[in-house]
Amino acid sequence: MFKKILIANRGEIAVRVIRACREMEIPTVAVYSEADRPSLHVRYADEAFCIGPPPSTESYLAMDKIIEVAKKTQAEAIHPGYGFLAENAAFAGLCEREGITFIGPSSKAMRVTGSKTSARTLAKEVGVPVVPGTTHDLTDEEVAQTAAEMGYPILIKAAGGGGGKGMRIVASDEELTSAIRAARSEASSSFGDPAIYVEKYLQRPRHIEMQILGDKYGDVIYLGERECSIQRRHQKVIEESPSPIITPDLRRRMGEAAVALAKASGYNNAGTMEFLVDQDRSFYFLEVNARLQVEHPVTEMVTGIDLVKEQILIAAGEKLRYRQEDIKLRGAAIECRIYAEDPDNNFMPSPGKIWGLRSPGGPGVRDESGVYEGYEVPLYYDPLISKLVAWGRDREEALERMRRALREYVIQGIKTTIPFHRRVLEDPDFLKGDFDTTFIETRFTERVATGARRHQEVALIAAAIHAYLKEKRAEVPRPQVTAPATGSPWKMAARQDGLRRR
Ligand code: ADP
């Protein structure tokens, strides 16, 4: 086993990896930017090194600096978490050349799966259905030609895409030229590659993905699906396992497709094969995520398998510890991504100091947080501050527990998406499992807006009552109150108590 692991990431995911290492008694090294000096991952790791200024290009994406710390501390392996360098084939290759184990797939497998078009080609080769569209990068003329052949709506996508960037839905010829231009420029600025291709835009699909684990000896298994259709701007916000619509037969077919794809690409370690499932329950391969996913805990809760530990064991050269028939899904799990964002103000980032924090707990609740009371959420990075996960014997109990946990969760000082999750978890269609990837955009945004309007009305009424009472009070002579000598709420209570008794 590795004698030391460096975690090339920050926040809640770095903490998650450190926890797995600690259980395995593997010492850890954290790296951090100047903005992250007070971060939880820095406090949790056995050693921590500052690698540069806040911008991630000068810190968390600075490959040479990270390799230098790994060498200096004699870390034998690097866990990239997700985001930053997690799907960077050049970084995986650099680790390989430097004799440091990258905890993830090989750089070769990552190159095959990293481009959406080459992954689509591979899927076709092994007979896995893909979303209709092209499998190679297109010129502007070819995009127009494909659109004419396929019919609108189409979706232009960046070949090197991720995070919903470089993606444009096009409904008609008139929108095409500007959409191509916008997609290409976003693809260039985000991925350094303007290559785009086209997919048919499916109407109201569900996003359902398969978790896989593969070892270095060609053995691959699937660990069930995750339902990730609750999205905002094509980004997941709530995930669950199992999916309310998946039958055992569909699970097996999608699982086998995922395994076939992994095997064909020489994939090892943890990975996710993403699919879209349409209204008649046909599934289409979407893309490979060659890393751990943000939503991995829901799979862990229903399978009982710690995916980070498995990643480490596989990277160290161990054979898979499970056979396909060992994988049994037990109960249901749901995850809410808690972001430092203001849901009543178009999800604007809300960095700042957390001056009050009460985390939920109790049966079936897991709070994967990267913050603490007094911590200041920096503005430089992804605003994900916690993944709140609830498990229950069935979906109903998991939802009950999540609703309860969301009520318990108090974060003061910054805005968070907790109130938004509370609203989704009260939605009758969501509770029935009746939704698709357009759920938030189409129906929910209206309800949120209505909610926000209602808040404004309540605020107005409250202000009017306040003004009225103030005016009334001004008419009546007020008794003299002596201010307490100390601001402590406990001392104040005691003093009032004493006064009453006398
Ligand atoms: P990214 O890698 O940028 O996150 P994905 O290809 O994973 O992009 O797609 C993200 C989301 O966008 C999907 O979960 C789905 O909601 C939507 N989407 C992607 N492709 C299609 C498509 N062909 N038709 C309809 N929706 C799609």
Of 182, 162, 159, 179, nearest to 170 by C-alpha is 179
SS3 percent helix, strand, coil of the chain, rounded to 5, is: 40, 25, 35
CA distance 367 to 361: 8
Map tokens 């009472």 to a residue: 469
pLDDT digits 0-9 by tens, 88-111: 999 999 999 999 999 999 999 999
Residue 199 CB–ligand 1 contact under 6 Å: yes
The stretch 177-184 carries a mean pLDDT of 96
Give the CA radius of gyration of the chain. 25
Mean pLDDT across the stretch 43-65?
Answer: 97
Cα 440 to Cα 115, 233, 386, 424, distances in angstroms: 28, 9, 21, 9
Q: What is the pLDDT of residues 382-422, one digit of tens each?
A: 999 999 999 999 999 999 999 999 999 999 999 999 999 99
Length of the chain: 502
Active-site hit among 120, 184, 291, 395: 291
Give the DSSP letter string of 413-456. SS--SHHHHHHHTT-HHHHHT---TTHIIIIIHHHHHHHHHHHH
- Quick: pLDDT tens for 115-134: 899 999 999 999 999 999 99
Strand partners, 270: 213
CB atoms near residue 289 (< 10 Å): 21
Ligand 1 touching residue 287 (CB < 6 A): yes
Nearest CA to ligand 1 atom 11: 234
β partners of residue 283? 277
Instruction: Give the whole-angstrom CA distance, residue 30 versus residue 46.
Output: 8
* CA separation for the pair 288, 235 (Å, rounded): 15
How high is the pLDDT of residue 478?
52
CA 361 vs. chain centroid, Å, equals 21
291 is catalytic: yes
Which of 477 and 356 is assigned the larger pLDDT? 356
Q: Are strands 410-412 and 341-342 parallel, antiparallel or unpaired?
A: unpaired
Among protein residues, the one whose CA lies closest to atom 14 of ligand 1: 207
Handedness of CA 164, 165, 166, 172 (dihedral sign): positive
Q: In this predicted structure, what is the pLDDT of residue 73?
A: 98
Run of H or E residues at 121: helix 116-125
Cβ–Cβ under 8 Å, residues 339 and 421: no
Which residue's CA is the nearest one to ligand 1's atom 13? 234
Q: Where are the domains of the chain?
A: 5-103, 132-200, 206-451
- Indicate if the pLDDT at residue 484 is higher than 90: no
Plot region of 331 (φ>0 → left; ψ -120 to 50 → alpha; else → beta):
left
Say whether pLDDT at 476 is over 70: no
Poorest-pLDDT segment among 208-212, 251-255, 340-344, 452-456 = 452-456
Atom of ligand 1 nearest to the CA of 203: 25
pLDDT at 381 exceeding the cut of 80: yes
pLDDT surpasses 50 at 493: no
Compute the mean pLDDT over every residue in the chain, rounded to the nearest whole number.
Answer: 92
Ligand 1 contact via 155 beta carbon (within 6 Å) = yes
User: What is the amino acid identity at position 387?
Assistant: K
Tokens of 157: 């996508």
φ and ψ at 367, to 5 degrees? -110, 105
DSSP state of 133: B
Q: 284, 290, 303: which is closest to 225 by C-alpha? A: 303
Q: Beta strand 410-412 with 356-358: parallel, antiparallel or unpaired?
A: antiparallel
Pick the atom of ligand 1 nearest to 228's CA: 14
Superfamily of domain 206-451: ATP-grasp fold, B domain (3.30.470.20)
Backbone φ and ψ of 257, nearest 5°: -65, -40
Architecture of the domain whose range is 5-103:
3-Layer(aba) Sandwich (3.40)
Q: Is the CB of 115 under 6 A from ligand 1?
A: no
For the cut 50, the answer to whether the pLDDT of residue 500 exceeds it is no
Ligand 1 centroid to 115 CA: how many Å? 14
pLDDT over 90 percentage in the chain: 85
Q: What angle do CA 137, 139, 143 make, to 5 degrees?
A: 85
Q: Is 114 in the pocket of ligand 1 (CB under 6 A)?
A: no
Mean pLDDT of the 213-217 span: 98
pLDDT of residue 467: 79
**227 Cα to the center of ligand 1, angstroms:** 14
Q: Is 437 in the pocket of ligand 1 (CB under 6 A)?
A: yes
* Span from the CA of 273 to the centroid of ligand 1 (angstroms): 13
Tens-place pLDDT, residues 273-282? 999 999 999 9
- Report CA torsion sign: 465, 468, 474, 479: negative
pLDDT at residue 451, rounded to an integer = 52
Q: Which residue has the higher pLDDT, 496 or 108?
A: 108
> How far, in whole angstroms, is CA 240 from its chain's centroid?
12
In the beta sheet, which residues pair with residue 365? 390
Q: Quick one: CA dihedral 201, 202, 208, 210, positive or negative?
A: negative
Q: What is the pTM of this model?
A: 0.89
pLDDT band at 234 (very low <50, low <70, confident <90, very high): very high
Q: Phi first, then psi: give them for residue 348, nearest 5 degrees.
A: -65, 140
C-alpha 490 to ligand 1 mean position (Å): 53
What is the arithmetic mean of pLDDT over 131-150? 94
Interval 136-156 mean pLDDT: 95
Decide: helix, strand or coil at residue 236. Answer: strand
Compute CA distances 261 → 69, 109, 258, 265, 326, whole Å.
35, 11, 5, 6, 21
- CA-to-CA distance for 87 and 8, rounded, in angstroms? 12
What's at 167, amino acid-wise? M
pLDDT of residue 156 exceeding 50: yes
Specify the pLDDT at position 460: 76
What is the distance between the alpha carbons of residues 21 and 4, in angstroms, rounded to a whole number? 9
CA 234 / ligand 1 centre spacing (Å): 6
DSSP β-ladder status, 384-392 and 154-158: unpaired
Q: Do domains 5-103 and 132-200 have the same CATH topology?
A: no
Q: Which CATH superfamily is domain 132-200 in?
A: ATP-grasp fold, A domain (3.30.1490.20)
Q: In the prediction, which pLDDT does 453 show? A: 56
> pLDDT-derived band of residue 456, with 50, 70 and 90 as boundaries?
low
**Ligand 1 pocket residue status of 310, Cβ below 6 Å:** no
Tell how far the Cα of 288 is from the centroid of ligand 1, in angstroms.
Answer: 12
Q: Whose CA is closest to 7, among 72, 114, 85, 64?
A: 85
**Cis before 363? omega within 30:** no
Residue 491's pLDDT is 43
